[in-house]
Structure 1
């Protein structure tokens, strides 16, 4: 049995939680599905599935292989779709969801080039800092800053990793000074994004040491651009992903604070509904966005 089939069988077993149901979905015998799983585990020299008489669950190695295998299989399906007739002249409405900051800074500048290349594709951008249900809202793809999707009906493709930084304006730092460690943040005015995970606590790492501090913001908002504007106006120290404030840092409008302490990083992914045949308009835009990010070397800039 070829490796791609083994991966497909394993993904179906993981998603159905059953070898029998996976075999039915793939129109193969239960014994063939079992042999495929056994062959994969022997080749990897790792137990991927924990079996009991009543229950089937993934091991930690199985969870990791499931995420990577799902991305690989999606890529293979995309490659097959690329030779379909629809790829020659994609058309229709492409609905994209992303945060205000991502739309303003990284999406809207790219859309004109894409529509010039594929004039039959109409683009609708849904701006939201919360995550839409892709299927329910008819979203073709979304940009999200989380590592994995719990919903098996959603496939992700990694776009870039970004640091989160503390930064403030030169005017604020001239008046208040710069904190040197997490304890000193209590003496400063903070600007906090309320949709971040555990937003009123900041977790720092340095030289193997981890410190979590509860924080209170002088200004809190669910919109990153409000936080950014307040920092530019000298109101306080913000905590934001580098992709939002990179240009401000380069120009000197904002200055890094406590840069030797690391906040948890974010993984920026493209999320899209899992389909056997991905529409050409969606696949082409995904490839276009990935290519533009690679050419701009964003990850290297955002993780420096």
Structure 2
């Protein structure tokens, strides 16, 4: 039996939940599909799929194998697509979704360079602080801050990790004082990003110590740039990813607060709807952004303590 066909069939069975549907999608007869699945289970000496009169479902062994097999097959499809795409010239409209902060600070300043490399690609940036449905909104590429996608048709590639930091302007700290421990934070004014996980809690760790501090916002907003502007004016303590405030901290416009304590870190990913038949324009942007992140060593910068710990 063809091992690749066996893998493709098993993965399709897991995704559509039907032997007949999987067989139809791959252009196989039902008997041929059954033989391929039986051959795979025989070679692995494990039952991967259970069937009854009402439905089909994966065994625990089948679920584990599915996760690994899907990754292997996706990598193979990536290799084939990359080879095919290398012969095509990227062109057309590329629709990119990202938060306003990420769009302003990390995408827009690089578009001139991207255009020089790929002059036939026109870029549309959909700046949105909530995650849009990529298929429904026709998004080719999205920047997202989560480690997995609930939709199995969405693929992610990690760009970097970043700390979340507390910081405030020198003027605010001169007026209100620098907190020396987490239990002093509740007496301060906070600028809160409402879309953050547990927006009104600070889950802090330092070595083996940890604590949770409840906070309320003097200002709350669904956009990080609004909060950053307020922090620069001296309104309160900002809670934001390092990539948003790194330059302000280096320049002294903002000062880290309790920098020896850590908040949960964020993983920045680039997401796209499918690995299958990835277009040259999408591949070009993914590789361009990944190269930019590596060249600028952003993860090292954004997970550092900036010499202030």
TM-score, normalised on structure 1? 0.85
Q: Deviations over 1:19-43 (max 9, x none)?
A: 665455444623423543675698x
Contact 1:205–1:262 (Cα < 8 Å) also in 2: yes
Decide which structure has the larger Cα Rg and report it: 2
Contact 2:191–2:236 (Cα < 8 Å) also in 1: yes
Contact 2:163–2:265 (Cα < 8 Å) also in 1: yes
Cα RMSD (Å): 3.0
CA distance in 2, matches of 1:64, 1:254: 49
SS at match of 1:125: strand
CA distance in 1, matches of 2:280, 2:34: 34
Q: Compare 174-183 and 278-287 and name the one that shifted more.
A: 174-183
Shift of 1:5: 6.3
CA distance in 1, matches of 2:272, 2:148: 12
Contact 1:14–1:58 (Cα < 8 Å) also in 2: no
Q: Deviations over 1:100-130 (max 9, x none)?
A: 1001110011111111111111111111111
TM-score, normalised on structure 2? 0.84
Shift of 1:213: 2.6
Give the corresponding residue for 1:15. Answer: 15
CA distance in 1, matches of 2:189, 2:295: 38
Shift of 1:143: 0.4
Give the corresponding residue for 2:166. Answer: 166
Contact 2:9–2:36 (Cα < 8 Å) also in 1: no
Give the corresponding residue for 1:140. Answer: 140
Q: Deviations over 1:30-77 (max 9, x none)?
A: 3423543675698xxxx9x685856635759956972x7655544432
Unpaired runs of 5+ residues, structure 2, are 305-309
Give the corresponding residue for 2:156. Answer: 156
Distance 1:236 1:5, change over 3 A: farther
Distance 1:71 1:157, change over 3 A: farther
Give the corresponding residue for 2:124. Answer: 124
Q: Deviations over 1:164-217 (max 9, x none)?
A: 111111222222222233321111111100111221222122333442232101
SS at match of 1:97: strand
CA distance in 2, matches of 1:138, 1:299: 29
Unpaired runs of 5+ residues, structure 1, are none
Q: Deviations over 1:136-176 (max 9, x none)?
A: 11111110111111012211111111111111112222222
Contact 1:70–1:155 (Cα < 8 Å) also in 2: no
